[in-house]
Structure 1
Amino acid sequence: MADVLAEHNELIPVLNRFGLRIGVSDKTVGDLCEEFQLNPDFILTVLNVYLDESYSPDASLPLFDAESIADYFRHTVENYIHDLVPNIEVHLNALIATSGADNKELGMLRMLFLKFKERMTDHLQKHTEYTDDFPDDLLHDLKSILIKHLSVEHNQNLSYAVIYSLHSFEKDLAAHNRLRDRVLRPKLSELDLSGIKQLQDTISNEHDSQKEDPDRQLTNRETEILKLIVRGYLNKEIADELNISHNTVLTHRKNIIAKTGIKTVSGLTFYCIRNGLISM
């Protein structure tokens, strides 16, 4: 394991999400999994998805359960909020401090970062990370501005530190999205009712302490419509089922998208599972 981490440093935060820390001595993946009671098939699947963009984990999907997936995704979100995003901010603040607080270009760059931080944190706290891509367009813009458009004198070493931390996060997000598409979604599609209930309970238990913004809570009618959407009903069928107009259905669907931040049926299905809206 030490040789792999020495060659691929980007895997260190990935292992941290499993509760593993550097200082692995000469232990293999199997040794670490046995010591910490982890599923080696799942860990190897995650590592392969991160290292190889073309890797397809189809054969390994039956070898681990829904709880392992939910636990890893939860720790990934915690890692993003508490480690990777703050790491970028630390380097950016150091760059600004050495260049003068009145530097307008760097001041605007900081405002752009704060906007990214707000969007990312808001996205993570709504827990849509399981279904949609992260809002990383501002992340790309920050890196592009530093490389192409920053004209003022600034510390090149600290600039590189900011760029490297942005790039590392960008790569991690891309790998995380691959993991979601190639592991989480296929796993969801094969679950029976008991498996779905297990995943629902695992995720819901982690979020019970977090209260949803009242302005973003679905109304009873929106909840009714959402349940029909994930069951495959068309707009006209929903209108007939609930004895309401077609335009009313469209209005409620817009509200559902605005409140959940999710547009796809697969994403809304997972939203229902996580929030206990689907009857078992």
Structure 2
Amino acid sequence: MSLVYAEMPLSEIILNEPLLIPVINRFGIILGTKDKSVQTLCQENNLDTDFFLTILNTFINDSFFPEKRLKSFCVTQIVDYLSQTNQYYKRYQIPNIEKHFGLLIEKSPYKNNNLELIREFFFELKHELLKRIEDDQQSWFPKIKRLSANVHSQIPGFSLTSFLKDDPDPIEEKLNDLKSFFVLHLTGKYDLNLCYGVIFAIFSLEKDIKQNNRIRNRILKPLYHLLQSAEFSN
């Protein structure tokens, strides 16, 4: 999808990119937006329209990198958004996969499959993701907020792209492996509908994490490095 703008109806954007639904939910916007524009809905919900659009465009466009806008945003906005994202994973998406997985194993009429082994791999992935969320909440995010509060002078005016590096994420890789186990290596008989539900839930989490990793890597990490540089130079 091309870039989205303030005057566009949010409903049109969602219909083209339904995986944005949990993203707008994190901003307090729920479905039933009628034909209201992004600008109108942001005003009604006391949201920064530019920040909201930056998050949406970063989420749906792989090549989008808003260097000119980054330094005007409050770091707290970004940290709070990613904190809400982490909580969404923890409270909804991870339990959703776990619930569907449990039902799939319970309702499968035969036990000559390897679903239990695949679920064990999911539990390992879940532990790793929850650990990263805990590290974010207890260490990295507070450190960023502290740096932001301590830096009172203007952030140095050099290119943010010098910090831009999308390192491989082991959680993304493991989610891809988990999908592959279902597609390539699932054995025996099982409930087809419940199996589809598990795979779709995994795909949804993988897509969400992949796109929010771009927000972490393309917005928060560059700002974090700039704040560190600004603090050091003061």
Q: How does 1:95-174 map to 2 (within 5 A)?
A: 95-100=104-109, 102-103=111-112, 105-127=114-136, 133=169, 135-174=171-210
For 1:239, the equivalent position in structure 2 comes to none
Q: How does 1:191-210 map to 2 (within 5 A)?
A: 191=227
* Aligned alpha-carbon RMSD (Å): 2.5
* Aligned counterpart in structure 1 of residue 81 of structure 2, from 59, 72, 77: 72
Q: By how many angstroms is 1:129 displaced?
A: 7.4
Q: Does 1:61 align with 2:97?
A: no
The answer to whether the 8 A contact 2:110-2:189 is kept is: no
Q: Does 1:184 align with 2:193?
A: no
Q: By how many angstroms is 1:186 displaced?
A: 2.4
Structure 2 unaligned runs (5+)? 1-9, 145-166
Q: By how many angstroms is 1:77 displaced?
A: 0.7
What's the TM-score, normalizing by structure 1?
A: 0.64
Q: Which has the higher contact order (CA 8 A, sep 6+)?
A: 2
For 1:93, the equivalent position in structure 2 comes to 102
> Which amino acid letter does the alignment assign opposite residue 55 of structure 1?
F
For 2:93, the equivalent position in structure 1 comes to 84
The answer to whether the 8 A contact 1:88-1:166 is kept is: yes
The answer to whether the 8 A contact 2:109-2:189 is kept is: no
Q: What is the aligned-residue identity percentage?
A: 35
Larger Rg over CA atoms: 1
> Which amino acid letter does the alignment assign opposite residue 114 of structure 2?
E
Deviations 1:165-208 (A, max 9, x none): 11111111111111111111222344489x97xxxxxxxxxxxx
Partner SS state of residue 107, structure 2: helix
Partner SS state of residue 90, structure 1: helix
> Which amino acid letter does the alignment assign opposite residue 163 of structure 1?
I
What's the TM-score, normalizing by structure 2?
A: 0.76
Q: By how many angstroms is 1:9 displaced?
A: 1.0
CA distance in 2, matches of 1:86, 1:192: 36
> Which amino acid letter does the alignment assign opposite residue 74 of structure 1?
S
Q: By how many angstroms is 1:121 displaced?
A: 1.0
CA 1:150–1:63: 2 relative to 1, 3 Å: same
Deviations 1:26-64 (A, max 9, x none): 211111111111111111111111111111111221342
